[in-house]
């Protein structure tokens, strides 16, 4: 059992398994996997890699083996990540909401039957989950949501509209917040439902983004049927379950990069800008802003490591995720801005042979980066959470 091995013994096992299972043509191609998350078709190598990781459970390395997860200890999982990085391998499952948000929340609040039903297909990467929280009049003030859910005896019936539902058009299941008691105070009449999206009463309308893609939708539930065992947690206690999912979401957004090897910013700058005889950037202003960004990146990385070290033995999600999400957002958005500036006119290409693939990617990353300070709760909402829940400052007009 991997669980009984020391991290160093485990290293040999991980290396051997990667040699046998990671297709070397995929080395360093994490970006290709991410691009294909948006409903695209995976090629044969990517499919093989995804199913190998799913079967081994190493896409969810620390999840319990009884549901098909890797069953690794945290130190073993770190060794696995190091060995994967050495060969340019990446986790083909980590970008799905099933792995980052829904699965962990089911582990926290699900019944044994819900865990048995939902965790194994998430671990194997066989189902896509989306999260239906936001509504046209309920974003930051999420507790104002109005999607109605009625108990009709042997099942629930849901009516209402969600918006910005990422991946809803490809979703098999949706974890959603609904109002089950309209008479209760707004935070108290909410429940969390697991909705099967593969029924005609669920309609999705993709919304096009400035960066070209349509990664999210308006989602309409019209007399949508949900089995009685689709309730996650207790009736009318969905706000607690919903907040936990958001902590898992924020925890998954603290890395400041999309995984795989990220070209260091100073390497990009040296490629595009003039350097002096000592190999330093000649432009004082560019050098100083780049240095400041590299220091922020380092500080974020160290804070992340410290938070992980402190959480040992109590690795549950916490409000610290709000601090880390904001700092990751700052680092990623600054990097995207600096990259475009450094590339100059080459950083403005959208298509055509005059621009290298990484130049076209830089514009898309810059545009998509704008979303980071909005999704998962905006930066201002994270600041509210930090001030109330961590610093203990007095309440504002709304509960975050």
Ligand X SMILES: Cc1cc2nc3c(=O)[nH]c(=O)nc-3n(C[C@H](O)[C@H](O)[C@H](O)COP(=O)(O)OP(=O)(O)OC[C@H]3O[C@@H](n4cnc5c(N)ncnc54)[C@H](O)[C@@H]3O)c2cc1C
If one asks whether residue 398 binds ligand X (CB under 6 A), the answer comes out as: yes
- Helix residue spans in 279-356 (DSSP H): 284-310, 320-343
Minimum CB separation of residue 227 from ligand X in Å reads 22
Minimum CB separation of residue 372 from ligand X in Å reads 8
If one asks whether residue 380 binds ligand X (CB under 6 A), the answer comes out as: yes
Minimum CB separation of residue 141 from ligand X in Å reads 6
CA distance 249 to 234: 21
User: In this complex, which beta carbon is closest to ligand X, that of residue 10 or of residue 133?
Assistant: 133
If one asks whether residue 211 binds ligand X (CB under 6 A), the answer comes out as: no
Per the annotation, the verdict on 267 as an active-site residue is no
Cβ burial, residue 13 (10 Å; 0-12/13-18/19+): middle
User: In this complex, which beta carbon is closest to ligand X, that of residue 91 or of residue 165?
Assistant: 165
User: In this complex, which beta carbon is closest to ligand X, that of residue 261 or of residue 370?
Assistant: 370
Residue whose CB is nearest to ligand X in the complex, by number: 139
CA distance 128 to 53: 16
**Residue span 105-144 as binding mask against ligand X, x where in contact by CB under 6 A, dash where not:** -------------------------xxxxx----xx----
Minimum CB separation of residue 163 from ligand X in Å reads 7
User: In this complex, which beta carbon is closest to ligand X, that of residue 258 or of residue 301?
Assistant: 258
CA distance 180 to 249: 24
Query: For residue 5, how many other CB atoms are within 10 A of its CB?
Result: 17
| Helix, strand counts (H, E) of the chain | 13, 8
Residue 339 CB contacts under 8 Å (≥ 6 apart), including other chains = 265, 268, 347, 362, 365, 366
What is the distance in angstroms between the CA of the first residue and the CA of the last residue of the chain? 43
Query: For residue 6, how many other CB atoms are within 10 A of its CB?
Result: 11
User: In this complex, which beta carbon is closest to ligand X, that of residue 141 or of residue 358?
Assistant: 141
If one asks whether residue 165 binds ligand X (CB under 6 A), the answer comes out as: yes
Active-site residue (options: 83, 135, 249, 359): 249
Cβ burial, residue 379 (10 Å; 0-12/13-18/19+): middle
Q: Of 47-55, 113-121, 164-172, 315-323, which part binds ligand X (CB under 6 A)?
A: 164-172
User: In this complex, which beta carbon is closest to ligand X, that of residue 80 or of residue 163?
Assistant: 163
CA distance 346 to 362: 10
CA distance 347 to 35: 20
If one asks whether residue 378 binds ligand X (CB under 6 A), the answer comes out as: yes
One residue of 188, 374, 387, 388 binding ligand X per CB under 6 A = 374
CA distance 130 to 125: 14
Interface residue list for ligand X (CB under 6 A): 130-134, 139-140, 164-166, 216, 371, 374-375, 377-378, 380-381, 384, 398
Active-site residue set: 249
């Amino acid at each position: 059992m991997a669980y009984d091995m020391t991290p160093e013994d485990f290293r040999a096992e991980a290396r051997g398994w990667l040699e046998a299972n990671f297709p070397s043509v995929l080395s360093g191609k994490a970006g290709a996997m991410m691009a294909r998350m948006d409903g695209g078709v995976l090629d044969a190598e990517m499919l093989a890699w995804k199913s190998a990781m799913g079967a081994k459970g190493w896409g969810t390395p620390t999840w319990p083996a009884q549901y098909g997860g890797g069953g690794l200890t945290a130190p073993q999982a770190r060794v696995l990540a190091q060995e994967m990085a050495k060969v340019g391998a990446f986790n083909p499952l980590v970008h799905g909401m099933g792995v980052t948000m829904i699965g962990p929340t089911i582990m926290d609040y699900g019944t044994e039957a819900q865990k048995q039903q939902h965790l194994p297909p998430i671990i194997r990467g066989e189902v896509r989950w989306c999260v239906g929280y936001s509504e046209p009049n309920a974003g930051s003030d999420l507790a104002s949501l109005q999607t109605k859910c009625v108990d009709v005896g042997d099942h629930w019936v849901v009516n209402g509209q969600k918006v910005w539902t990422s991946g809803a058009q490809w979703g098999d299941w949706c974890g959603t917040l609904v109002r089950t008691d309209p008479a209760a105070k707004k935070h108290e009449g909410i429940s969390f439902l697991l909705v099967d999206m593969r029924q005609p009463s669920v309609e999705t309308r993709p919304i096009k983004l400035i960066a070209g893609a349509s990664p999210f939708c308006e989602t309409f539930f019209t007399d949508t049927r949900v089995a009685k065992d689709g309730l996650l947690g207790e009736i009318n206690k969905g706000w607690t379950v919903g907040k936990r999912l958001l902590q898992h979401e924020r925890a998954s957004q603290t890395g400041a990069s999309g995984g795989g090897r990220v070209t260091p910013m100073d390497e990009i700058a040296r490629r595009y800008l003039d350097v002096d005889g000592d190999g330093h950037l000649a432009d004082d202003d560019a050098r100083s802003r780049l240095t400041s960004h590299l220091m922020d990146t380092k500080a974020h990385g160290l804070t992340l490591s410290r938070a992980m070290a402190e959480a040992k033995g109590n690795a549950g999600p916490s409000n610290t995720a709000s601090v880390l999400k904001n700092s990751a957002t700052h680092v990623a958005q600054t990097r995207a801005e600096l990259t475009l500036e450094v590339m100059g006119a080459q950083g403005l290409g959208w298509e055509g042979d005059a621009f290298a693939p990484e130049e076209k990617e830089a514009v898309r990353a810059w545009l998509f980066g704008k979303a980071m300070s909005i999704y998962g709760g905006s930066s201002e909402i994270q600041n509210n959470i930090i001030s109330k829940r961590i610093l203990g400052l007095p309440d504002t007009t709304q509960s975050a």
